[in-house]
């Protein structure tokens, strides 16, 4: 079974499928897996998210790290794990959620925006950090964070496009979380494939 470290080495992009439904999730995931994506997040404010996570885990769990986003409490951590999810991604740095996720043997990638939040998340055991919202922090904010935080992978999320990825990488980004620039609810499979391909081409 692939580890988070292996997944990020292969392609350091987290595909965020906010609004995806169980009836379509496997079709969209098939595109991602074929292109080399190895981390897929289903935010919990999507329709029937645990069902989608289970479908993904059953089909792709060996080769892809599957999990949930917008996880804000321990009960949700349990439900994600029961569905087969292995990565817990949060919009904030809740040390209780981070510690509990690690106690359950899951990967934890909390959101942070300040040095205080970053240090708290790292000390609680976070595997990587999500800089959110990245568009307001910007590459300059990221660069400032990387100079003071202990070495850890930082993934900007929010406003990431193929046009600005290089600037973020130069500022210290280890990879990216791809949200509405990759997928929006109701998006056609063709448009989604185009978007997913453009992000991958940055690494080719």
Domains by residue range for the chain, with CATH: 4-201 (3.20.20.70)
HSE (CB half, 13 Å, CA atoms) of 139? 13
How many residues would you count in the chain? 204
Q: Which residues are catalytic?
A: 41, 130
| Edge-to-edge strand list for the sheet holding 13-16 | 107-109, 87-89, 65-69, 39-43, 13-16, 176-178
Structure tokens at 8: 């990020």
Mean pLDDT by runs of 10 across the 204 residues of the chain is 98 99 99 99 99 99 98 99 99 98 99 98 99 97 96 97 97 98 98 98 89
Strands 13-16, 176-178: pairing kind: parallel
Q: Evaluate the CA torsion angle 98, 74, 78, 91 in order and state its sign.
A: negative
In contact, 196 and 10? CB cutoff 8 Å:
no
Whole-angstrom distance, CA of residue 11 vs CA of residue 24: 23
DSSP letter, residue 157: B
In contact, 71 and 77? CB cutoff 8 Å:
yes
Determine the pLDDT at residue 204: 79
> What separation in angstroms does the CA of 154 have from each of 56, 78, 164, 201?
25, 25, 16, 21
Determine the pLDDT at residue 74: 98
Whole-angstrom distance, CA of residue 106 vs CA of residue 114: 24
Determine the pLDDT at residue 15: 99
Cα distance from N-terminal residue to C-terminal residue, the chain: 25
Determine the pLDDT at residue 18: 99
Whole-angstrom distance, CA of residue 136 vs CA of residue 158: 9
- pTM listed for this prediction: 0.97
> What separation in angstroms does the CA of 61 have from each of 58, 66, 98, 103, 146?
6, 6, 22, 20, 32
């Amino acid at each position: 079974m692939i580890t988070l470290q292996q997944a990020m080495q292969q392609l350091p992009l987290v595909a965020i499928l906010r609004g995806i439904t169980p009836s379509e999730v496997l079709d969209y995931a098939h595109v991602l897996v074929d292109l080399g994506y190895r981390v897929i997040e289903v935010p919990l404010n999507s329709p029937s998210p645990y069902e989608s996570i289970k479908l993904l885990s059953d089909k792709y769990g060996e080769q892809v790290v599957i999990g949930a986003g917008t996880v804000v409490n321990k009960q949700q951590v349990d439900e994600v794990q029961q569905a087969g999810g292995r990565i817990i991604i949060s919009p904030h740095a809740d040390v209780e959620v981070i510690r509990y996720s690690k106690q359950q043997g899951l990967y934890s990638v909390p959101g942070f925006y300040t040095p205080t939040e970053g240090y708290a998340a790292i000390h609680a055991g976070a595997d990587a950090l999500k800089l959110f919202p990245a568009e307001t922090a910007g590459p300059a904010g990221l660069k400032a964070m990387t100079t003071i935080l202990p070495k850890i992978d930082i993934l900007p999320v929010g406003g990431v496009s193929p046009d600005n990825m290089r600037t973020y990488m130069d500022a210290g980004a280890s990879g990216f979380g791809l949200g509405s620039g990759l997928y929006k609810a109701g998006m056609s499979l063709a448009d989604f494939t185009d978007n997913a391909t453009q992000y991958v081409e940055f690494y080719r």
